[in-house]
Amino acid sequence: MKVFISSDMEGTAGVVDWAQCLLGEPEYGYYRTLLQGEVNAAIEGAQAAGADEFLVNDSHSRMQNLRPDTLAGHARYLSGSHKPMYMMEGLDSSFDAIFFVSYHGSMSTSAPLSHTYNPRAIAEVSLNGTVVGESGINSLVAIAYGVPVVLVTGDDVTAAEATRVNPGVFTAVVKKAVSRFAADSMHPAQACELIRAKAEAAVGALADARPPAIALPATMSVTFRNPDLAEMAAWITGVRRSGNTSADIVDEDPLRLFRKFVSVVLLTRGIAE
């Protein structure tokens, strides 16, 4: 049984500040060990339920935050910042389940360190009228390959947001949001115990897992932080400007829709303040 794990970092218990999760900052080294513990806990829980093959796609910042030699389950490690499929690189139809570990909420929520792919450019994203974060956007790739998202770990706001797109998904809430820069976190050991238990339960219930609830063709509406970003996004074929600071992408192919969104993110990054 194969499990695909996309790991971020902002959702780790204890993380509430950018300085804790960016390479080069004094506290980064410590907090990356907490992330490693949560990723390993997810793997160990899945192993207990029968999973025996893992791919971890390091999806945070420069995407080189984990230590390959200490990954549990002899997991393969996909790292590096240039990935055409971004946080979902490496997923294909051979996988049985998807975990989103240490995820955060969308820019418009009060989740700690909330943002949607690029906080300097994107104010909000919705799919068919439902505001989504990275868990919802990335679920488009899950639909494309027919692999269910069965576990999301992070704060309580992020967990609630994820269930709107993935009803029935198991969530491990390791901290409660106070604001974008404050949270009430579980002790790291207890956070790992919870993630381990939820991962085991999620894989154990795989037969009942449902695909993401995104009707196709889907409309993705992106609100940008200024009009210039919306104008630049509309340069991409299939992206239509819908307002002063907004643009829509409509497509019946979830993978093509996701790729267009990633293209928008990469293109607008150049002029984001």
The two beta strands, 239-243 and 246-251, are: antiparallel
Residues ≥6 apart with Cβ < 8 Å to 169 = 149, 150, 151, 152, 162, 163, 202
Instruction: Please check whether residues 108 and 223 belong to one and the same domain.
Output: no
Out of 162, 188, 208, a domain closes at 208
pLDDT at 49: 98
In a domain, 141, yes or no: yes
213 falls within a domain: no
Beta carbons of 157 and 115 less than 8 angstroms apart? no
Q: Are residues 245 and 196 in the same domain?
A: no
Number of separate domains in the chain? 2
The residue-averaged pLDDT of 173-193 equals: 98
User: Please, which pLDDT band fits residue 117 given cuts at 50, 70 and 90?
Assistant: very high
Over the stretch 199-243, which tens digit does the pLDDT of each residue have? Answer: 999 999 999 999 999 999 999 999 999 999 999 999 999 999 999
Q: Is residue 152 part of a domain?
A: yes
Confidence of residue 260 (pLDDT cuts 50, 70, 90): very high
Whole-angstrom Cα distance, residue 80 to residue 58? 8
Question: Does 101 lie in the same domain as 58?
Answer: yes
What pLDDT score does 191 carry?
Answer: 99
Residues 229-239: tens digit of each pLDDT: 999 999 999 99
Residue range 74-115, pLDDT digits in tens: 999 999 998 999 999 999 999 999 999 999 999 999 999 999
- Residues 172, 148: one domain? yes
Which is it for the CA torsion 232, 234, 235, 239, positive or negative? positive
- CATH code for the domain of 105: 3.40.50.10780
Which token pair is 145?
């390959």
Question: What pLDDT score does 255 carry?
Answer: 98
Averaged pLDDT for residues 145-157:
98
Q: Work out the pLDDT band at 62, boundaries 50, 70, 90.
A: very high
> pTM higher than 0.95, yes or no?
yes
127 phi, psi to nearest 5 deg: -120, 120
Which residue's structure tokens are 């590096």? 80
Taking the CA atoms of 42, 179, 117 and 260 in sequence, report the sign of the dihedral they define: positive
The answer to whether residue 127 sits within a structural domain is no
**Please, which residues have CB within 8 angstroms of residue 197's CB and are 6 or more apart in sequence?**
45, 172
Q: What is the distance of C-alpha 201 from the center of its chain?
A: 20
Same domain for 107 and 177, yes or no, is yes
Q: What is the CATH number of the domain that holds 258?
A: 3.30.1360.130
Does 55 lie in the same domain as 183? yes
Q: Do 54 and 154 fall into the same domain?
A: yes
Q: Are residues 203 and 244 in the same domain?
A: no
Flag whether pLDDT at 273 surpasses 90: no
171 and 199 part of one domain: yes
Q: What is the pLDDT of residue 270?
A: 83
Residue 62 lies in a domain: yes
- Residue ending a domain, among 188, 208, 228, is 208
Average pLDDT of the residues of the chain = 97
Catalytic residues: 115
Instruction: Dig out the tokens for 233 from the structure.
Output: 């996004």
How many other CB atoms are there within 10 angstroms of residue 213's CB atom?
17
For 226, the domain range is: 218-271
Please tell me whether residues 44 and 111 are part of one structural domain.
yes
The answer to whether position 124 is within a domain reads: no
Residue 193 lies in a domain: yes
